[in-house]
Structure 1
Amino acid sequence: MLARAVQRARGSLLWERLWPALAALATALGLFLAMSWAGLWLALPPLGRVIGLVVFVAVFVVAAIPILRLRVPSDREGLRRLDAGSGAMHRPATSIADEISANRNDPVAQALWQAHIERALLAANKLKAGWPQPKLSLRDPMALRALVVLLVAATFISAGSERWKRVTAAFDWKGVVAPANFRIDAWVTPPNYTGRPPVMLPGVRPGETTTVDLSGAPISVPAGSQLVVRSTGKVSFDIERAGGIEDVPLDPKTALPAGTEERRFVIKTDGKVTLRGAASTDPVWSFAAIPDRAPTVELIKDPERQARGALRLDYKMEDDYGIVEGKAIFALKQDKSATAGKSVADSKRRPLFDAPQFPLTLPQARTRSGAAQTTQDLTENPWAGSTVTVTLTVRDEGGNVGESQPRELTLPQRIFVKPLARALVEQRRILALDANEKPLVLTALDALAIAPERFTPEAGVYLGLRSIFFDLRNAKTDDSLRDVVARLWQMALQIEDGNVSQAEQALRQAQDALREALERGASDEELKKLMDNLRAAMDKFLQALAEEMRKNPQAQQRPLDRNTQMLSQRDLKSMLDRMEQMARQGNRDAAKQLLDQLQQMMENLQMARPGADQDQGDQDMNSALDELSDMIRKQQQLRDKTFKEGQDQRRQQRGQRGQQGNQQMGDLKQDQQALKDRLNKLLEQLRQRGMGQQQGEKGQGQKGEGQQGEGQEQGDQDGMGQLGDAGEAMGEAEGSLGDGNADGAVDSQGRALEAMRKGAQGLAQQMQQGQGQAGPGPNGQPGRGRQRAEQNTDPLGRPLRGRDYGDDTTVKVPGEIDAQRARRILEELRKRFGEGFRPQLELDYIERLLKDF
C-alpha cells in the first residue's frame, strides 16, 4: 500500500516538473507555425529567412532547456510528498519506511519499535499524494500561451491550402547557400530505323523542385527505344522501374567522362521509371510503347507475262517506319489429292532445283507506302511452265515480316517454234522437277534420235542429242543431272535461235550486274566498268538481232503497227550515257529507274521470227479493227446530223425551208448508204479470212482445243453476227431518211452504233483469245492482241487509263537539270534548318520537308 502511494506521489511530482517544460516548447512551436502561416517567410528575403530561422532555433533551444534538465522524482521525494499531502504530524509515510538502526537484540527496544510501527500503520489510510499542481500561472502571469493558441488557430484557417508551402519557405535559402554542383539528365532515343528524334525528359538540377504530373498522358515512344539517365557531379540516386522496362548493360568499351554515371534501359512495353534520392520530389516518367507493326504487301493486279516472256508483278506495300527488303517466293502448286493425303509418287518427288525467288523493287530506299512493279525473266529457270503459287514477302528494319495472299499462276516460259527445241525443253522441265523421272526422259531422248536423216538433218544437233543421252544415262549424282538439265536448255536455244540467245543472255547478265552495283552503292570505277560491259553486250545483241533479221527478209517487208515505237541505236546510246551520268552524280535511284525502263524496252523489242505469216494476219486484223473504229465514229457523226435535222424540221414551217430539208435528207441518205456499203465490204473481207465460219470448217486440227476453241468460235460468231445486225439497221435508217422520217432514222442509227460496238468488242476478244491471251499462235508466237494487252492498249490501239503509276505507260526519269535543281533545293533547306534564329513554325515546316531525305 505504501509502494502504490509512493508511485502516485512520484507521478504527480513528475507532471508538475514536465508540464511547464512542454508548455514552453509547445509555445515556441506554436509561435513558429503562426508566423509561418501568417506569411512571414514569404515576405522576407533569403537572408532574412536565415536570420529568422536562427532566432526560432534559439527560442527552441531555450524552451527545451527545462526538458533537458528534467529528472525523475526519487522515492524519498515521494514520501515527503505523501507526508505533506496527508496533513498528519510526525511524518507517517516516512515513519512507515523507517527501519530500526540499533539494539536489534534488545527486547525492550524491539517492543517499542513494534508499537511505533503499529501506530504509523493506523495513520497509513490517511496518506494522500494530491493532484499535480504545475502552477503555470506563476511562470506565465500574462497568459501568453493562450495568445499563441489563438494565433495558431487564426493563421491555420487563413493559410488554407498553402500551409505546407508557407512552412517550407523558411528553409528556401536560394541565393544564400551555394547549391551542390551536379545535374541529372534523361532522354529517350528511339531506334534509328524509326527516323524519330530523341525525346528530352525533365531532369534534376541543384536547388530546383522537380515535379512531373503523373495524371497526364504517358509519353508515347516506339517500342525498343532506349531510356538514358546520366548524372554529372557528386550525387547519389536510385532508379526504380515497373512494367516492360528492362536494364541494358553498358558496353565496357564505352568511355564516359570523369565524374559521369550513366544508366540505360530498353522500353519494350508500357512502363514507369522513378528517380529517387536526387531531389526533394522524386520525378516519375511514364511511357506508352508504340509497337512496330508488321509491313503489308499485296498484288494490285494479276501477274502478267511480257512480250518476251518476262514475269511482271504489280504490287503495293505499306509500313509504319519503312520497308528495306522484299522478295517474291514461288512454290509448286499442290494437287487436290494433297489435301486428303499425298500419294506415293508425290512423297518420293525429288526436285533438282529449288523454287525460284527474286527480290522486289522498292519505290524508294525506305518505303513507307507506295506502289511498284518488278519485271523478272524466269524463262530460263527449270520451273518455267509449271503451275505455282507466288507469295510476296517484305521485311522492315525492325525484323517484322509481312506476306501477301498466295496467288496461283503459270510461270511464263519461252515459246519455242521448232518442235525439237520444244520437246527438249519439256523433257528438261520434267527432269528438273523430279529426278526420279530419269528413265522417262531417257526414253524420250532416245526416241528423238530416231531417223536422224529425216527428223534431225544437222549432224551437230544429232551428235549433241546423243551426247546428252549418254551423259544422262551415266549420271549418278544430282550434280550430274543438273549438268544434263543445263545442256538440254543450251541445245534447245541453239536449235531455236542460233547466236541470238547467247547474246541476249549476256545482255541480261550485264543488266543484273549493273542493277546490283547500283543498289549496294558501288564505286565510280566499278560502275564505269559495268557500264562498258553493258554497252558491249548491247552491241553484240543488236548485231545478232540484225543477223537474224537478214535471215528472215519477210519480217522486214511487213508493215508496222501505227502504235509501234521506233528504237534506234542512237536512242540506246543516249540512254546509256544518261544512266552513267546520273550514277556519277549520285542520283542512283534515277539511274536504276532508267535501267528498269531500258530492260522493259528490251523485253518488248520486236524480234524477227519464222511466224511472219501469223504477224501479217495480226496486221490485217488490226487494220480491220481500225477501219471499224473509223466507221463507228462516222456513224455517230451521221446520227448527230440526223437528229439536228429532225429538230430543224419540227421548228420550221413547211414551205421553201421544207424543200431545203428534203435536200438535206437526201445527202444524209447517201452518206448512210456509203457507210452500209463500206461495212458490207469489210464483212466480206473478214469472211474471206475465215471469220464467221463454223468450227468444223476451220479444219480438224482444232478439235482438241476444248473450251478454248468453243470460246473462240462463240466470240467469232457473236462479232460477225453483231456486224450483220448493224448492216440491217443501217438499211432501215437509209429507208427512213428516204421517207423524210428523221426520228425513225435516229433510232435505227442508234441500233447500228450499238451493234457495231458489240461487234468490234467480239472481234477484239476473238483476236486476243485465239492469238494472244489463250496461248501462242499457230507458229508459237504471241499474237498482236496479246502484245497490245501487255503494252496497256485496248483492241483499237488506244492507250488505257487508270493505272497506278500515272496516266500513260511511260516512266518519266528526271533529267540532269531536274536533279541539280532538286539538289540545290535540298542544300538550301538544310542550311535554313540549321539557322536557329528562324521562327519555330518555319523550322518545323522545314523539318517535315526534310523528313524523307
Structure 2
Amino acid sequence: METSTDRTDGLRALRWPLRLTWAGMLAEALVQAFWPMLALVLAVLAALMMGAQDALAGGALWAVLAVIGLAALFALFFALRRFRLPSRAAALARLDASLPGRPIRALLDDQAIGAGDAASAAVWQAHQRRMAARAAAAKPVKGDLRVAQADPYALRYVALLGFIVALVFGSVWRLGEVTHLAPGGTGGTLASGPVWEGWAEPPRHTGKPTLYLNDLEAEVLSLPEGTLITLRLYGELGALTVAENVSGREVAASSEPAQDFTLRQSGEISIDGPGARAWQITLLPDAVPQVERLGPPEVTALGEMSLPFLARDDYGVEAGEARISLDLASVDRRYGLTVDPEPRPEIVVPLPMPISGDRRDFEETLIENFSKHPWANLPVSLQLSVLDASEQQAVTEVSQLTLPGRRFFDPAAAAVIEMRRDLLWSRANAPRIAQVLRAVSYAPGDDLRSEVTALRLKQVIRRLELRARYGLDEEVQTELADDLWALAIELEEGVLADALERMRRAQDRLNEAMKNGASQAEIAELMDELRRATEDYLEQLQRQQAQEGAGEDQQPQGEAMQMTQDDLQRMMDRIQELMEQGRMAEAAEALRQLQEMMENMRVTEGQPGQGGNSPGEQAMEGLSDTLREQQGLSDQAFRDLQEQFNPGTGAGESDGNEGRNGGQGRGESHEGQRGQGGPSGEEGGEEGLAGRQQALRDALRRQQGRLPGQGTAEGDAARDALDRAGEAMDRAGEALRRDELAEAIDNQAQAMEALREGMRALGEAMEQEQRAGQPGQGTAEGGDQRGEGRDPLGREQGGSGANSSDAPLAQGPDDQGRARRLLDEIRRRSGEAARPEVERDYLNRLLDRF
C-alpha cells in the first residue's frame, strides 16, 4: 500500500510538467510539418499587400495562381505526411529521459521478485521513494522548433522578412482587391463602391517619413513646404472627385484617376463621393538659412587667415561660400597703383562644412592664405553666403577689410614684394618696376645678403626691361611674379649657412616686427625662429670651443660672458612675456641686451663653479631625467584612461598601481605628477597632461643642442633616436589635446623607447671618445675577449659559469661605460610592461638606489 501511495504522489507531481512537455512536442510537430505552408502564406500576403496584383492581368494572373495552388498542394501534402499527434506515452518518455536514472519508468514498475520478503519489500519501497523524489524535480522539456535541416536556404525567414516589409510599407486594405481579379470582379467593384489611396511625401532633406493617408485618422495635418501629395482613384470615372487649394492650381475639383501636386500653402484637401475624406493642411514653411561672422579674421605671421563664422538652418545648411572683391574706392592710389587695375574675377572660396554631425547650427573657421594674391594687403569687400537644400540663400552684409597677407619686415624684401604687387596690378607698371628695382640693387651693401641674391635680382630686372619693350603677356607676368615672390622670401628668411648670421637676422626681424606693430601671432612665430637660430648658434659655438680646446681658464675673465643655455632660455622667455603684455619698449631693450651678450659670450654646460661632470655625463643625466618624467607622465595618462572606463578607481590610488619610485600613485612617486597634478597646477585633465608633455618636448629640444659626439656614427645615431623621440612626443601632445589617451600612451611608449636608444648610442659615443682620449688602454693581450668569462659587473666567473658575489668588481678603463650600459639595461627592463610585477619592483628599487 505504501508503494502505491509513493507512486501516486510521484505521478501526480508530474502532471503539469507532462502537459507542458506534450504542448512543446505538439508545437514541434506543427512547425516541422507546416512550416512550408506558413512560409507560402506569408509570401503571398506580402506580395498582395505590396500591390503585386496591379501588375497581373490575363494569362500572367492565371499562371501565378496556378503556381501558388500547386505550391499549396505540395505544402499540404508535406504537412499531412509529417504531422503526427504526440501521445501521452511519448511525452512521458521524453520527460523521463531528461531526468537522471529514469525515475518515471521506475515508478511505473512493479516488484517482480521478493514481494513476500519484508526486507526485499522495504528495499523496493525505499527505491520507489527515491524515484518519486527525483520525479518531483522534473521540469518541462522544451520542444525542438528548429527546421534548419529541412530548410537549408532559410526560405521561411525570407517570407517572414517580406511580410514585415509589407506591414511597414504596404497596406492591409489592398488584400480586398484580390476579389477584383476574379471573373466578374468589375461587378463586385461597382457593388462595393469606389476606393482611393493617397500618400504625402515630404521633401527628402526634411528627414520626415512618407504618410499613407488611408491609415490616418487625424483630419488636421502639419506638413513641410514642398510635400508631394499623390492620390489614386479606383472605380467608375467621376464617382470620386478631389478638391484642394494647397497647390495653387486653378482647377477647383478633378476626377482624374491619378493626381499629383505639391504643397505650397495652407488649405484643405478633400475627396468627395463614397468613402469621402477631408484634411485641413497647415503648411510648415522652410526657413531661410542664416550666416554671420563671429569676429575679425586672425592672421598668422606667414599670412594665413582664419575667419570664424556661424551658420544655421531649420533642416541643415548644404553649402556656402565667401566672395571677396577689390574695394577700389578705398585703395590708396599712389605710386604703382595710380594706373587703372587689370580686371580680375572676384575670389570665391567655399566655406567649410561639418563632415559629420548636425548642420542645422554649427560654427566653423575658414582658413586660407591669400599672401600670393594680387589683392593681398589691399582693401577688399567680403560677403559670406550659405544655401539650404531648397536652394534658399542667405548672405551677410558686405564688410570692408584689408585682405590678410604675409608681411615682410626686411626693407629689401618689402620693396621687392611691393613691386610684385604693382606688376600684378597692371602690366603697364613694368618700366617703372624695373627702374625701382635697379635703384634697390644699386650699391646694396648688406641688404641683398649674398651675390647669388643680387644676381637673381639683376636677372629679373633684365627680363622686365626686355618684356616691357616687346610686350608683356599674362603668362610672362605670372612667371615674373613668381620669381619676385621667391626672391622676397629669400631676402626675408635668408639662405645663410652661418648660425650667427641667422641669429642676427632673426633678431633684426623681431626688432622690425615690434617697431611696425606686428600682431601677437607674428611676434610669437618670430620669437620661435629666434629660439631655433639661437640654439643653432650655441651648438656651433660649443663645437668651436671643443675644437679649440677651450678650458675653464683659457679665456681671461672679462673678455667673454659665461652663460648657460638655461640662462638664455630664461632671458628669451622674459622677452616674450614682455611682448605679450604689450610692453614693447622694455622688450626691445631686453632684446638689445641679449644681442650684446650673444656677440661676446662663452657657453658653458653647467653653472659656473660646478664643472665637475663632462658634457656627455650632463647630457646623459638630463636624458635620464627626461625618460623618468616621460615614464611618470605615461603612468598618469594610463591612470586617467583607467578612470574613464572604470570610474572610481581612486585617481592613481588603485591596487597595484605603483609609481616609478614604488609609491602608490601619489606625489613624487609618479615622476612628473609632483603631487599637484603637474607643473601647471591643474589637478589631472588632458590639458594639464598636454602642457607637461609639451614641457618635456621643449626640454628634450634644449638637450639635443648640447649632445656631444658630433660627426661620429654613434653621435649621429643618438641624435636620430632623439629626433624620433621628439616626434613621438609631439604626436603624444596632440593626442592628449584631443583627449585620445590610448593613442597618447602608444606615442609615449615610442618616445621612451627612442630615448633609451638615444641614451645607449650616446653612451657608446662617450665610450668611443674616452678610448680615443686614452691611447694604449684597453688593448692588452686578449683585449678582444675582455667580456668573456665575466658577468655584467665585470667579475670573473667560475669554470662552470657560476658567479661569485664576493668577487671584486673588475677595474679598467671601461668601468664607467660598463656601469652606464648596465644602468640603461635596468631602465629598459623596468619599462617593459610584460615583465612580472615582482621583477619590475626590484628594478625600480635598483634605479632609486643607484
TM over 0.5: no
Say which structure, 1 or 2, has more relative contact order (CA 8 Å, 6+ apart): 1
TM-score band, normalised by shorter chain: 0.3 to 0.5
Q: Name which one, 1 or 2, has greater alpha-carbon Rg.
A: 1
Question: TM-score, normalising length from structure 2?
Answer: 0.35
